[in-house]
Amino acid sequence: MGQNILDYETVALQDEASVLVIVDQTRLPNETRLLRLTTQKEIWQAIYLLQVRGAPAIGVTAAYGFYLAAKEINTEDYQEFLARLQPAKEYLNSARPTAVNLSWALNRMHRVARCSEALGVAAAKQCLLREARAIQAEDIETCRRIGEYGLSLLKPGYGLLTHCNAGQLATSKYGTATASMYLGQQRGYHFHVYCDETRPLLQGARLTAFELSEAGIDVTLICDNMAASVMKNGWVNAVFTGCDRVAANGDAANKIGTLPLAIAARRFGVPFYICAPTSTVDMETGSGEAIHIEQRPPEEVTDMWYRERMAPEHVKVYNPAFDVTDADLITAIITEYGIVYPPYTQSLAAIMKQKAAQDK
C-alpha cells in the first residue's frame, strides 16, 4: 500500500548530505515526487516556482536554505562569514515578495548568525542548524494551537469553506486554515468542507482537496465562482482561509480570490476567519495598500492547464498572485496566541506584545 500524502514531510533537511528534500507540489495530485535541493539556486527556484509554497513552509525552507548557505562558507574569519551570508539572505528573500514568513525566517536566522560571533564560525553553523529546526518545530506547534482556537468556534456537523491551500502541504503539519478540520476529524466532528478550486494555479483542487480527502474528511470541490451560491444555499457555516501577510490594521493578503469570498460571506451572514501565525503579522505595514502584490506570468492563465492555448494570442493578462481582504470584512483572525477581534489596530498590537513577552 502506498504512502498517504500526509505521511510525507513537506520540507525535510538531510544534514549529513547537505540536502533539502521537499514535496514537489507542482506535480500533485497525480505524482508524489520528492525534490532533493542542494544549491541556493535550486532552493530559490523551488520557492519561486511554487514547488514549495504556503507562507509557513516557505519560512521553513528559507531557514534551512540559509543554514545550507552558511554551511558552504569555508572561512574562520567571522566578519568574512557574515559578509558572505548577507547576499545569500538577499538572494533567497527575492524569491517571493508577498509572503512575510520568507523575510521573517531569514531575518531570524541572520540575527542568530550576528549574535554568535564569540562562538566562532563552526559553532555558529550549529547554532543556525538548531534555529532552523526550532522554526520548523514551532511551525507544527503553532498550527496545532491555531487549530484548537479555531475549533472552539465550530460545532459538529458544520459546513466549512476554504480557499487555496493552507493545509499540511503549506506548513510542517496540520496547516493553518485546515488545522481545525484535521483536529475535528480526529474528534468526530464530521465537518463537510467545500474547497475552492482556486484559479489559476488550482491549489485548492490539486492540493487541498487531495490532502483532505486523503485524511478521510468529507470534501466537495467547487469552482471559485460557485462559492457565493454555496453560501446562499445555507451549506456553509464558516469560511476559514490562511494568509501570507497581515497588516497592522488587520488587512490580510491571501491567494487571489479570497476577497470575493469575504464579500460574499458578509452578504450571506457567514463568519469569515483568517488563520494567521503571528509570524505572518507585519506590524511595520500599516495597511493592505502597502503590501506588494506579486504579479505572475500570463501563461498561468492562458496556457498552463490546456492542451491548446485557451486565449487569443497577444491578449493582455492581469495575473496577481494575491488580493487584500479589508479588515472590516474579517470576522476574526485566529493566531496561536488566541482569537483576535476588531478593532485590529489594538488587538493585533496586544497579541504581538503578548508574543514578545513570551519569547523573552
Secondary structure (DSSP) of 170-226: GSSSS-STTHHHHHHHHTT---EEEEE--TTTTHIIIIIHHHHHHTT-EEEEE-GGG
The pLDDT score that the predictor gives to residue 347 is: 98
Burial bucket for residue 157 (CB in 10 Å: 0-12, 13-18, 19+): exposed
pTM of the model: 0.92
Q: What is the pLDDT of residue 159?
A: 98
Neighbours of 63 (CB within 10 A): 30
Q: What is the pLDDT of residue 358?
A: 83
Q: Give the number of domains in the chain.
A: 2
CATH number at residue 231: 3.40.50.10470
8 A C-beta contact, residue 34 and residue 27 = no
As given in the structure block, the three cell numbers for residue 209 are 482537496
pLDDT of residue 139: 96
CA dist., res. 91 & res. 129, Å (int): 19
- What's the rounded Cα separation, in Å, for the pair 264 and 130? 44
Please report the DSSP string for 100-160 in residue order. Answer: HHHHHHHHHHHHHHHHTGGG-HHHHHHHHHHHHHHHHHHHHHHHHHHHHHHHTT--TT-EE
User: What pLDDT shows up at residue 1?
Assistant: 45
User: Does residue 310 share a domain with residue 320?
Assistant: yes
Same domain, 218 and 336: yes
Residues 77 and 103 in one domain: yes
- Do 151 and 102 share a domain, yes or no? no
Q: Are residues 113 and 158 in the same domain?
A: no
- Does 333 share its domain with 245? yes
Reading phi first (left if > 0) and then psi (alpha if -120 to 50, else beta), residue 111 is in: alpha
Q: Supply the range of the domain harboring residue 75.
A: 5-143
**Boundary-marking domain end, from 143, 175, 204:** 143
Block means of pLDDT (10 residues each) for the chain, 360 residues, are: 84 97 96 97 96 94 97 96 96 86 94 95 97 97 98 98 97 96 97 97 96 97 98 98 96 98 98 96 96 93 90 95 98 97 98 87
Decide which of 100, 119, 143 is a domain's last residue.
143
Domain harbouring 63, CATH code? 1.20.120.420
Whether 283 and 318 share a structural domain: yes
Nearest to 172 by CA among 56, 67, 26: 56
Helix (H, G, I), strand (E, B) or coil at 332: strand
Give me the catalytic one of 244, 251, 282, 323: 244
User: 162 and 109: one domain?
Assistant: no
- Final residue in a domain of this structure, among 143, 177, 204: 143
Residues 78 and 179 in one domain: no
Q: Report strand pairing: 281-282 vs 322-325.
A: unpaired
Q: Are 131 and 108 in contact (CB under 8 A)?
A: yes
Q: In terms of domains, do 129 and 153 share one?
A: no
Residues 112 and 151 in one domain: no
Q: Determine whether 224 is an active site residue.
A: no
Whether residues 115 and 159 fall in one domain: no
